[in-house]
Structures are given as structure tokens and as C-alpha cells.
Chain A
């Protein structure tokens, strides 16, 4: 049985939607690609004055401590450049695994999907370091 070679890592595209940068992570991310992405996002924020970054991880099968650290660093760096980061669409199996692994990702804002992440970022919001309140709309 052979496994197809993952092939050379290609950079992850960063799209601009108004003031928000949207990044969709591929299912399999090499370490070098993740690090490159961190640099790309930071430069894009500085250049464009984007006020928000949405990282869509709905296609990501696993988040290990390396990728988790890169995501947390992206959010911290973006915050220094006055942009808020929202992690969108984490798979339930990934969430369960992250908790057991012990990776808390404190300071990272999350949303169930990209739509909700975009809406969240268009809200004029006071600092809210914890995860997104999912009870909105309830009485």
C-alpha cells in the first residue's frame, strides 16, 4: 500500500473582503507553510489596514500543538496591529482532541462558521477575550 506524496507545500491564499482578511486552511498543512502564512497575514494587515482576520479551519483534520501555536501567534500578532482574529468552523472531533491534548488556545476567538465570524467582526465590539457567546438570539 502506498500513500500519495503530499507534494510540495503551496502557499495559502489570503483573500481581502472589505476590511477583513479571509484565509481558508487546507486539510493538510506543512509546518513551513503554516509559518509562511503567519508572515503573509501579518504583512497583509500592515499593508491594507485590515481590521479583522477570519481563519476558516473547517477543512482541517487535526490541530496539533504546532499548528495551535501558530494560530495563537497569528492572533496575537494581528492584535498588535489592531486587527481581531476569529477562528471559524473547527470540527467537533478536532475540538474534542484539542481539549484532551491540553491545548487551550486562550485568547483565540472562535465562531461556528465563516458567516458568523464575519458578522462578529462587523460588530463594533468592546474587548472580549473569551470565546464567542453562542447564546445570542435567546431570550
Chain B
């Protein structure tokens, strides 16, 4: 009998240099998230976070690239998205992460909002050092019923 191994999408790096590239990054994140088994709401959150962070790379970082990496750790499956640029960097990360803070006339929701849409979030940056923003989300199952919420019905759909 042949063992069926789950096919895992390969890591990929995509350039970010134009708004067409932003669209390509969104499409690719959607594709990979679907293949990894993320549900619709999680997919939507991931693609939205990717769109925010990739646009920051383009607008504030002067362009760069997106690294899309499927993760497998024990029994859990996840997706890591890194957005890398060699731009001016962020002087005050805490300030940049504040809702409503923007140096570019934006709504200032990109960074802080993206953090809320994923499970893990990290920024490596400094003046003149460029910026790398990394976001990780894990596939979450259907929440388990709380104890006392009634018996499980194995046949139920």
C-alpha cells in the first residue's frame, strides 16, 4: 500500500516593487493558506495582514520582498510571512505600532492591525538597517465544545 504524504507547498520569495506585486503576494498567500488547510476567515485575515505589510514594504521601505514559508511543527501546521526591505528602518517601533500613528498620511492601522490578525508577530528594524516584519499564523481547528455544553454527537455534521 502506498502511503499518501500531504503535499506541502514549497517556501517562496516574491518581489515587492509595484502595486501589481502586492496583488501577486495576496494571491499567493491565499493559495498557500488554502492548501495548508486554513479556514476561510483565517485565510482572509492572513491575506489582509499580508496586504498591509507588503504595502508598508513598498511605500515606507522602498520595495523589497515577501517570503512565504509553510510551517510544520509536530501536529500543527502554520504559515510564516516575512516582509523584508533595506529601507530607512523604523526609529520608534512602539510608536509605529500604535493605532493611528502614520508618517505617510495613512490611517496608521497597517502594523497594529496586522498584528491583531495573526498569532505571532515580530519586527526587526533600526535606523538605516532596513525592516523585516514577520507574521505567523497556525491552522486552528474548530473550537472544542466547553465542558457542560452538551454531549458530542459523533455523527453530527
Contacts and interface: CB of A to CB of B under 8 A. Distances in A.
A31 B113 CA distance: 19
A103 B107 contact: yes
B28 A101 contact: no
A91 B110 CA distance: 21
A3 B66 CA distance: 14
B106 A6 contact: no
A100 B47 contact: no
Nearest to B40: A93
Nearest to A92: B41
A27 to B, nearest CB: 10
Contacts of A30: 19-20, 22-23
B16 to A, nearest CB: 13
B140 interface: no
Nearest to B22: A31
Contacts of B10: 1
Interface in A10-69: 28, 30-32, 61-66, 68-69
Interface size class of A (residues with CB under 8 A): 20 to 34
Contacts of B28: 3
Interface in A62-120: 62-66, 68-69, 91-94, 96-97, 100-103
B13 to A, nearest CB: 13
Given A96-B41, A101-B109, A6 B27 contact: yes
B44 interface: yes
A92 B44 CA distance: 10
B127 interface: no
Determine which residue in A30, A61, A68, A101 has the highest number of CB atoms from chain B within 10 A of its CB, and name it: A101
Contacts of A61: 26, 30, 44, 47
Given A32-B19, A66-B51, 20 more contacts: A1-B9, A1-B12, A3-B27, A3-B31, A6-B20, A6-B23, A6-B24, A28-B26, A31-B22, A31-B55, A61-B26, A61-B30, A62-B47, A62-B51, A65-B113, A69-B106, A97-B44, A100-B45, A100-B113, A102-B109
